[in-house]
Amino acid sequence: MKYEYCKTDFIYEISRSDSSVQSGSVFDSTLQNTWKDALERGVFRYVLNIQHSKILEGKFSFVAQLNTDRALKRRAPEEITSLTQPFDHDRFNFTKIDETEILFELRRKCDTSTNRHCVIINESPLEFGHCLLLPTRLNCLPQIATQYSLQLAIEVMLLSSNPAFRVGFNSLCGYASVNHLHYHGYYLNYSMLLEHISVQHLSGPCFILVNYPAKGFVFQLPSDKRPETLARDVFKLTNFLVCNNVAHNIYITRGTDFSSSHTNSKICNTVRVYVWARKSSSGAKQNDAFNPAICELFGHLSVKTEAAYWSLTEEQVVEMLNDVCEGPFGQVTDSVKELFED
């Protein structure tokens, strides 16, 4: 199955008032229907079963979900030793998946190249619709964000009209479990703080997130509404981090414009892209509750055990996020400011 799109399909402003996860654009319907069909066919490692969900008490409104199946039944992550570890054809990669795992091929109508992008299931889902976007799957690129793939991920976000849809990327040494270029997509039906939190200008198009335990960098869809402009700006930062051997995570979400004073607005009028410089996952403090990967930095905590879920507090989460991000953020901020002053 193929899903083809062009720029006229992009949706730049959506309402938060639609509380139904299973709704949205033609893209949303395509993703949700193929994902549910795969679920019925038994393609996943387990049937998604989030045993409990809650918002942790405190000012950051962290969302905690108990998903013991993901902790126990997912494929063992690949051993990652370097941020620039080469692609290895002999290890598991997405050319080795079964055809039943492919939901659909994704293609820009105006793209004259032979690039083939796939959307496949994440066989160990953490939420409804959890899928993987595989840019140029057969090119066998390592898990390093390219400007082209960032633009594709942003365009996928613009194809969805559901405010619950999110896209994320874990770098190598940032909890990526497969060294083959991929982005995560899924639906999280909560209004999240980072959709509207205030940010501070750093330089050029780059802003910083400081009133939050996981300090990081953030960009938004520019006034020209061109996803290629946003992708170029984000790539400028991620490429700098790769060149300086700094692990990182990227999260793409709908939200309010940085200049908006209406934090509780029901309208999402931009796309926000968060980039966190972070400690290598091999050097991060281990936690029985959750792994501090991309979703957790955003405030969505997939908790491993029932004991950890019931005892988890905002203070514990704040400590973990600070430990992961504060040092690397402080070390690179001045250089990032200079990077965008040109």
Q: How far apart are CA 309 and CA 72, in angstroms?
A: 15
Q: How far apart are CA 152 and CA 220, in angstroms?
A: 15
| Sole residue written with tokens 């390592």 | 142
Burial class (CB in 10 A: 0-12, 13-18, 19+), 166: buried
Task: Report yes or no: 296 and 290 within 8 Å, Cβ to Cβ.
Answer: yes
Q: Give the dihedral of Cα atoms 11, 2, 119, 241; nearest 10 deg.
A: -60
Nearest residue to 212 via CA among 311, 329, 126: 329
| Sole residue written with tokens 């899903």 | 3
Q: How far apart are CA 184 and CA 141, in angstroms?
A: 16
Distance of CA 62 to the CA centre of its chain: 16
The CA-atom distances, in angstroms, between 240 and each of 6, 215, 338 are: 30, 17, 11
* Residue 182 appears among annotated catalytic residues: yes
* Residue tagged active-site, from 117, 130, 182, 184: 182
Q: Which residues are catalytic?
A: 182
